[in-house]
Amino acid sequence: MPTMIGTTRDLCVRPAREADAAILARLATELGYPAEADDMPSRLARLVGAGHAVLVAERQGEVVGWIQVGATPVLVESPVARILGLVVARDHRGGGVGRALVAAAEAWAADQGFDRLGVTSNIVRGEAHGFYERLGYVRRKTQHVFSRAIEAMPPRPAQPPVDLGTRPAGLEDVEALVALNAHVQGLHAAAHPRLFKAEPDPQQIREMFAAMITNPSALWRIAEADGPLGYVYAQLQDRPATWMRPALRVCTIQHLAVRPEFRRRGVARRLVADVVVEARARGYARIEIDHWSFNEAARRCFAALGFEVFNERLVLRRNTRM
Domain harbouring 188, CATH code: 3.40.630.30
HSE toward the beta carbon, residue 285, CA cutoff 13 A: 1
What pLDDT sits at residue 144?
Answer: 63
The length of the chain in residues reads 322
Q: Is residue 36 part of a domain?
A: yes
* pLDDT at 253 (0 to 100): 94
pLDDT score of 113: 83
DSSP labels for 296-316? Answer: HHHHHHHHHTT----------
For residue 149, tell me if it sits in a domain. Answer: no
Phi, psi of 232 (to 5 degrees): -135, 140
Q: How far is CA 192 from CA 49, 287, 318, in A?
A: 12, 26, 15
Cα separation, 136 vs 145, in Å, equals 24
Give the span between the Cα atoms of 232 and 47, in whole angstroms.
29
Contact 220, 274 (CB under 8 A): no
Give the per-residue pLDDT at 49: 63
- What pLDDT is attached to residue 102? 92
Q: How far is the C-alpha of 33 from the C-alpha of 284, rounded, in Å?
A: 54
Pair 214, 267 in one domain: yes
Q: What is the pLDDT of residue 1?
A: 43
> For residue 2, what pLDDT is reported?
43
Q: What is the pLDDT of residues 44-83, one digit of tens each?
A: 877 776 678 889 999 888 999 999 998 877 776 777 888 9
- The pLDDT-based confidence of 148 (bands split at 50, 70, 90) is low
Is 97 in the same domain as 195? Answer: no
Determine contact, residues 68/13, Cβ cutoff 8 Å.
no
- In the predicted structure, residue 224 carries a pLDDT above the cut 50: yes
* CA atoms of 284 and 250, how far apart (whole Å): 6
How many degrees, rounded to 5, is the angle at CA 111 between CA 108 and CA 112?
A: 90
Whether residue 28 lies inside any domain: the answer is yes
Comparing 78-82, 145-149, 162-166, 242-246, which segment has the lowest mean pLDDT? 145-149
Does residue 236 sit in the same domain as residue 286? yes
- Domain for residue 85, yes or no? yes
Distance CA 229, CA 287 (A): 23
Q: What is the pLDDT of residue 42?
A: 81
The pTM (predicted TM-score) of the whole model is 0.55
Q: What is the pLDDT of residue 147?
A: 62
- Mark whether 184 and 255 lie in a shared domain: yes
> What distance in Å separates the CA atoms of residue 192 and residue 290, rounded to the nearest whole number?
16
Assess if residue 79 is contained within a domain.
yes
DSSP state, residue 167:
E
Query: Average pLDDT in the 311-316 region?
Result: 81
Report which of 294, 291, 255, 254 is spatially closest to residue 113, judged by C-alpha positions: 294
Q: Do 169 and 300 lie in a common domain? A: yes
- pLDDT of the residue at 70: 87
Q: Are residues 125 and 205 in the same domain?
A: no
Q: Is the pLDDT of residue 190 over 60?
A: yes
pLDDT reading at 186 higher than 70: yes
283 and 198 in a single domain? The answer is yes
Per the CB < 8 A criterion, the answer to whether 30 and 89 are in contact is: yes
Same domain, 126 and 184: no
What angle do helix axes 21-31 and 40-47 make, rounded to 10 degrees?
90
What percentage of the chain carries pLDDT values higher than 70?
89
**Mean pLDDT, residues 83-90:** 89
pLDDT tens digits for range 110-146: 888 888 888 887 776 778 888 888 888 888 877 766 6
Q: Per residue in 281-304, pLDDT tens?
A: 999 989 999 888 888 888 888 988
Q: Range of 14's domain?
A: 6-134
Instruction: Give pLDDT, residue 279.
Output: 92
Asked whether residue 319 is domain-assigned, the answer is no
Number of structural domains the chain divides into: 2
Model confidence over 232-242: pLDDT tens digits? 999 999 988 88
Mean pLDDT, the chain, rounded, equals: 85
Q: Within 13 Å, how many C-alpha atoms sit on residue 263's CB side? A: 14
% of residues, the chain, pLDDT over 90? 34
Contact at 8 Å (CB) between 69 and 117?
A: yes
Average pLDDT over residues 154-167: 71
Q: Answer whether residue 52 is part of any domain.
A: yes
Q: Report the run of H or E that residue 40 belongs to, with start and end.
A: helix 40-47
Of 112, 86, 84, 115, the C-alpha closest to 101 is 86
